[in-house]
Amino acid sequence: MSPLSFAETQGNHMSIDYQIFFQTDEPAQCTLDIVSSVDGITITSGLQIAGLVGVSIEELRAYSREIMHDEFGEYGLNVNWAIRGTYDKTTNIDELLERLLECAARIIHARPNHPLSVMREGESFYLFYDVRRTVISRVYSQSLSLVESLFGDSYEMKEMVY
């Protein structure tokens, strides 16, 4: 069963957290400005992402930065910020993941020299970007046209095992 199918079928029984980890020296508002035009993103009284509840943007503590850098083998990144939220269990999971990928693509295009990853539960990668390469989980093989429209043809698609 693919991770999307698993998440979709299990969504009513468990909380699923999604994160976009990224590196920047700019204030959070600069990142909010980058993603604000993505469909389903609103920034009125804080960041809201359709399909997620409890959304936050926060600077990572030293311990979390260390984990992101050291614990993921070849997918370890030097990141210092995270956008986080919990799946609302009602939104179509594919639409949510497309929205998160679009946010990631916009951040990458605005900051091509800074690493980024999109993850589920802080463990499963959907997207990994480290300046030298973009790796997208095979989960998106069914959404290839979306991936190509966001990232062109400069990405690898494979299972990310660390």
Strands 156-157, 134-136: parallel, antiparallel or unpaired by DSSP?
parallel
Report H helices in 82-158: 93-110, 144-151
Predicted TM-score of the model (pTM): 0.85
In the predicted model, is pLDDT for residue 2 greater than 50? no
Confidence class for position 6, pLDDT limits 50, 70, 90 = very low
Rounded Cα gap, residues 105 and 136, in angstroms: 12
Judged against a pLDDT cut of 80, whether residue 30 lies above it is answered with yes
Check whether domain 3-157 has CATH 3.40.1190.20, yes or no = no
140: helix, strand or coil: helix
Where do the domains of the chain lie? 3-157
Residue 153 has pLDDT above 80, yes or no: no
Rg, the chain, Cα only: 15
